[in-house]
Amino acid sequence: NKYFKKKIQMQMETGVDNVIRNLRIASVAIYCVVVIVGTVGNGLVIYVTAFRMKRTVNSVWFLNLAIADFLFLAFLIFTIISFSQEYHWPFGLVMCKLNNFVTVVTMFASIFLLMAISLDRCLSVWVVVWAQNKRTVRKAVLISVAIWVAAVICSTPYAIFRLIWSKSGKTFCSYPITTPMQSLVIFRFSMGFLIPFLAILASYVAIGARARRLQRRNRQRSCRIIFSIILAFFICWLPYHVMSFIELRVDRRLSHIKIAGSLTVCLAYTNSCLNPILYVFMCHEFQNKLKQSICFVLENALAEDHLSFMSSRSMSSHLSRISRKSDSAAPVEKSTSTSLKSTESKVVFSECRENTEH
Name the residue with higher pLDDT: 136 or 340: 136
Q: How far is CA 211 from CA 121, 207, 208, 222, 228, in A?
A: 12, 6, 5, 7, 16
- What was the pLDDT predicted at 285? 45
CATH number belonging to the domain at 2-301, selected among 1.20.1070.10, 1.25.40.10, 1.10.150.120, 3.40.718.10: 1.20.1070.10
- What was the pLDDT predicted at 205? 85
- What was the pLDDT predicted at 343? 45
CA distance 222 to 101: 36
Name the residue with higher pLDDT: 294 or 127: 127
CA distance 358 to 18: 50
The per-residue pLDDT for range 44-54, each reduced to its tens digit, is 888 888 887 78
The per-residue pLDDT for range 68-119, each reduced to its tens digit, is 999 999 999 998 999 888 889 999 999 999 999 999 999 899 889 889 988 8
- What was the pLDDT predicted at 301? 62
Backbone angles phi, psi at 85, to 5 degrees: -105, 30
pTM score over 0.95: no
- Whether residue 5 is predicted with pLDDT greater than 50 in this model: the reply is yes
